[in-house]
Structure 1
Amino acid sequence: MKFTTALITALFSVGALAAPSITKRQDTVTYKIHDFTERKYNGVNISTLFFNIESPPNSGGNIKFECAPFVFPTGKTSSTFEAGHVYFCYKDSPYSFSFVPGDAQKGTWAKLNLWQTDSKTKTYVGDVEFREPPCRAAGPGKDTVCEAQEDYQIHMSVAGSPTEK
C-alpha cells in the first residue's frame, strides 16, 4: 500500500513537471529554444530533431519542455522527418512546431515555427530564424548530428493580434 501511494504521488509529480500548466498571461511571451539538435542518418536529410522550450533566464517563469516530432498513429517520435510539416511535441503537448532547414550554400537560414495552445480559443504563434547548426560524425556510415552552439529566443503572440509577425 505504501509503495502504491508513493508510486501514484511520483507519477503525478512527474506529470506536473512534464506538462506545465499555463497560467494567465499577457498577449505576448518569449521562450528560449535550447539544445536544438538535428540527426541525419544519411548525412544529408534530417531524420529527426529535438529541442527544449524553456522560460528565458530572469523571466520568473519555470517552463521546461522537451520537443520532438510526435506521430499520433505510431505514438512515437518520427524517424522520417518532413520539412515544413506541423508536428506536436509529444502526445497531449500544448506545443506544436514546424521546421524548414536552411542552406548555407544558398545563404538561407533555418526557420522554426512554434505554436502553443493556451485554451480552446487562444493560440500563441512565433518563429525564429537561425543558421544551420554545425554537424559532426555520429555513428556508422554517414550518420551525423548537428547541434546548435547557442540558444535562440522565440517571441510569441496571440494568433491574430497586432504584434503577430
Structure 2
Amino acid sequence: MSLKKEVAGAIRAIRTTRGLDYGDLAEVSVKANIGKLEQGNSSITLEKLIELSEALQFDPVALLAICLAIHKEEPYALTLTRARDQLDAFEAEGGVELLRRQLVGNELVKRPRGKPGNTQGADSVKALKDAGLSQAEVAERLGLAKSTIHRYWHS
C-alpha cells in the first residue's frame, strides 16, 4: 500500500496550518526531499516521518492516522477508534507483556534462527489429540491443513 498522496496532502496541510515554510524545517534530514514528498513523488521511512512530524510540531500517530483515514476514505476518529480497539485487544491477549519480553532496554532480544513456530496451534493439536480426536477431526475443528496437523501430532 502506497500512501504517497496521503502523506503529501497531510504534510502540506499541516505545514500550512502551522505557518511553516521549508526554511523552518532546516533541521530535518529529509529537508531536501520535502518538495518531492509534498508532490507525492517520494516515499518516506517511518523514522523520517516521525522526525518530520516532530519538526512540524504534530504528533506522528496523529499524522499517520490522518494519512490512513484519507486512504480508507473514513473520518480520522473512526481510524483512531479502530486502532484503540485493536490496542485494547492486543493487551487483553497478552501482547503487551509479550512485547516487553522482546526488548531489553533498547535492544531487541535475539530469537532462534528460522521460521517461528505456531506454539498456540501446536498446543491446540496436542490438547485435542489427548482428548481422543483423530487427526482428521482435529484438522476439521481447527481449520488447519492436514500436513500441519500431522507435523504437530508427531512433534
TM norm structure 2:
0.21
Larger strand fraction of residues: 1
Q: Which has the higher contact order (CA 8 A, sep 6+)?
A: 1
Q: Which has the larger radius of gyration?
A: 2
TM norm structure 1:
0.20
